[in-house]
Structure formats: C-alpha cells, structure tokens
Structure 1
Amino acid sequence: MPAMMPFVSVCLMLACLWQIQSSQGHPSDLHNVAYNKRVTVSSKHPHHGGSKAVNGLFDDFATTDRERSPWLRINLGRNYYIHEIEVFARRDCPHCGKQLHNIDVKVGKTKDSMRMCGHYSASARPGGQIAIWCPYGTVGRYVQVQIVRGEASHLSVAEVIVWGKRK
C-alpha cells in the first residue's frame, strides 16, 4: 500500500490543478460572457450579420461592408469583470486574415465611455487567434473591436470570445 502513495499524491495534485484551470487555461471562474449576446456592426452585410461573431461556431463569420474604420460591438447585457478578449479570424479563404488587421479592442460600461484593452497591429493569419488581455480590474458591458488604420476594409471575424466574470 505505501508504494501507491506517490501515485495517489500525483493524482490528487493533478485533480487540483485541473479544478483551478478551465478550458484554454483560464481560471474556472471565467466564462465566455459574450456567447449569444447582442452584436451591433458599423455596417450590415446581408448574409453575415453580427450575431455570427458570438454563436460559438468557428466555421461561419460576421462581416461589415467595406468601409473606413469598421467596428463590431458586443452588448454583454450587464457589467462584467473582463480578463481577456480573443478574436478569431476567418479560415475559409487565404486572404481572410487581411480582413482583421490593426485593431483596437475596447471595453466600457457605456458605448460612450470605451477604454482601450489592447491593440493588435498586424494582419491575422487565416484561422488565427488574436488574444488581448485587459488591465486588471477592467469592468464593462460593451466590447468593441475596430480596425483603426489602413485603407477601407471589411472587418470579418469568425468568433469573439470575452473571458469574464460577474461583477
């Protein structure tokens, strides 16, 4: 029986570590607070509306029309502590990553009081993930992703995941 003790100790330690972490290495108290929430876009595309950015599916996408500084805004419905925002590029075509470039990611308690969480200055790879960590204590109801530099462009995203917890 004493020979089993190291094995049991390792199993207990692994179980504790698993409990602390949830999917994608996030603490277990964080959840995707954007899932199936209301999305507004700066311009509407007839077949790829904003709701497709928060439906949990990575094989479809939301997109704006071609314009300068296009944006997508998620209404979380209430204030949350926001930890991280992941933006996923389309993977269905080789040039789709260029439709997600030079983005600002902002969070705010109102649409008029958005604060910067982070900026990504390159173009995404097709199917690529952009992870933006917000400053500690960031609270907001709205999350906005916006292209802020370059020529007129579409803003296309496969999915936006907002890791947060109730305030």
Structure 2
Amino acid sequence: MSFHIKTRSQDIQADVRMKIIMLSTVLCIALIVKFGHAQEIQFLVQNFSEFWRFAWEYPACEIRQCGNHGVREFSQCFLLSVNLSGSCRATQSSLYDYRGLAMNAVDGNLNSNYMKASCTSTQSDMNPWWRADLRRSRGIHSIRITNRRDCCSQRLNGAEIRIGDSLDNNGNNNPKCATIKSAGHSETFECGGMQGRYVNILIPGRREYLTLCEVEIFGTQEGGVDCL
C-alpha cells in the first residue's frame, strides 16, 4: 500500500493556480460584458462551465480584444491564446557551454542570470540564430522575450523574430514579426496572428553571441479561433 503525502509547496502551488484561474475568468467575463450584447452575455452564462474548464486548463493566457468579433469568437480567442513554448522543441546555431542549451529558453524559468543555467547561448557566430519548433503550424499572436540581465543585454539589439513554415536557411528566411531595437529585460512583440510552425530569433549581419533567458510564444491552440 502506498500513500501520497501532499507537501506545503504543493498546497501553495495549488492555491496560486486557483487564484490565477479565478482572475483569468473574472477578467474574461468583465471584458465580454463590456463589449458584448445581451444575447452574447446570455451565451456566456449558458456556457460558463466551458469558460471555467478552459481557464483551468490554460491559466497562463493573454488578455486581448479580438477586433469586432462576437463574444463566442472573442471568448475562444481569449482563453485559447496560450503559451505554446512548453511543448516545443528548440535548437540553435551553436552552443557556448553546458549552461547555454537551446531548451533553456522554453523551460518556464524567467531567471535572467546566465550562470544559473536557465538561459541559452551560442558561440560568437556570424548571424547566430535560435529556433522553436511548435510541431505544427499555429497562429502566433505575440512573443515575449526575457533578456539576460547579469551582463551583455545589448547583444540582443537588432535581433529579428521570424515566423513561418519553411526551414530554408534554418528558418531564418521566414516572414518577420518584429525587430528588437533596444533590448531591455523583458519585452512583448505583437505578431498579429502570423501563421507558422517555426519561430526564429536571429541577429543578422554581424558576429555575436545570442543569449535568450526565456521565449514565451502565445498563440492559438488546436480547436481555437484565430480572430486577429
């Protein structure tokens, strides 16, 4: 016979998760009530259990207004615009040392001190790049990048974010979402629902070390409505 002992840490994690779920649900309802019509609010009430289920499954979603679409599309987009990074594969142009693995950018750890082994790093490559493989094409709404803070944050200046389905030139020829003009600690870049399986971050035109401490890719899960 085996027994499962619930630790205080697990209790705290469960409590934090529940608070996030409640906040996500309340915010979603508030936005729908504000932007929706009477029949759309009725739809929300009738389908509240679905809202709760999605909030439980995807608590780390982004809050966004999906144009002028009805509340049905808005609610699905809101709750299904989730961080896709956790299920992706990652690779990069080279490896600086054992601390700088490509997967460190999608490990869920926002620590921005390279010595803590939660950031990536290439060698000083010409046109260094990092790539996430989302396993299938997705609608990408935004990407949040956490930069290194213990030193050298300026290295990321001029980096490009590219999204698409091609692996030509290691994926670096795909359409561009944004350019990082002046890298800070953490910044979100809107990609407007660009479609793609691969998300690349590259520094074009110079020899540089590419270091990323976290890359959060927010997009539409399977079955969701891409309403951007």
In 2, the alpha carbon distance for the partners of 1:34 and 1:159 equals: 9
Alignment partner, residue 4 of structure 1: none
1:101 partner amino acid? N
8 A contact 2:139–2:220 mirrored in 1:
yes
Shift of 1:14: 5.6
Alignment partner, residue 84 of structure 2: 33
Question: What secondary structure sits across from 1:63 in the alignment?
Answer: coil
Deviates more, 1:44-53 or 1:15-24: 15-24
Alignment partner, residue 174 of structure 2: 114
Q: 2:186 aligns with which of 114, 129, 143?
A: 129
| 1:77 counterpart = 2:135 | yes
Shift of 1:17: 2.6
Q: Which runs of 5+ in 2 are unaligned?
A: 1-24, 32-50, 65-77, 112-117, 223-228
Alignment partner, residue 100 of structure 1: 156
Alignment partner, residue 61 of structure 1: 119
In 1, the alpha carbon distance for the partners of 2:89 and 2:211 equals: 17
Q: 1:89 aligns with which of 147, 151, 166?
A: 147
**Identical aligned pairs, as a percentage?**
24
Question: What secondary structure sits across from 2:30 in the alignment?
Answer: helix
Query: Runs of 4 or more off by more than 4 Å in structure 1?
Result: 12-15, 18-24
TM, length-normalised to structure 2: 0.58
* Higher RCO (Cα < 8 Å, 6 or more apart): 1
Shift of 1:132: 1.5
8 A contact 1:65–1:154 mirrored in 2:
yes
